[in-house]
Amino acid sequence: MAEAKKANWFKRAWGGICRYFRELRSELKKVVWSSPKQVAKNTLIVLACVLVVGVFVWVFDFVANYGITTLINAFK
């Protein structure tokens, strides 16, 4: 009994690549994309959170720097 011959490496690889893009396309059709209004709203929320966290870090850094400077000057 003769064994079935496998396709060469290039044909197998090309077939895999084609299958990947077919599946990718079918999955992207299932995605529910956000509206531009929702994207703008989410962007503003993220920017506000970044600003709040940035201010918090700045205040903490200022207080920590002041405290360390005060301790160093107290023991001089």
Phi, psi of 75 (to 5 degrees): -100, 10
Confidence of residue 61 (pLDDT cuts 50, 70, 90): very high
Residue 72: the pLDDT is: 93
**Higher per-residue pLDDT: 33 or 4:** 33
For residues 15-26, give the mean pLDDT.
Answer: 94
Q: What string of DSSP letters covers 36-61?
A: HHHHHHHHHHHHHHHHHHHHHHHHHH
Domain ranges of the chain: 9-74
* Structure tokens belonging to residue 66: 């002041």
Mean per-residue pLDDT over the chain, rounded? 91
Yes or no: say if 42 and 34 are a contact pair by the CB < 8 Å rule: yes
What predicted TM-score, i.e. pTM, was given to this entire model? 0.58
Q: Residue 46's Cα: distance from chain center in Å?
A: 13
- pLDDT of 5 reads 66
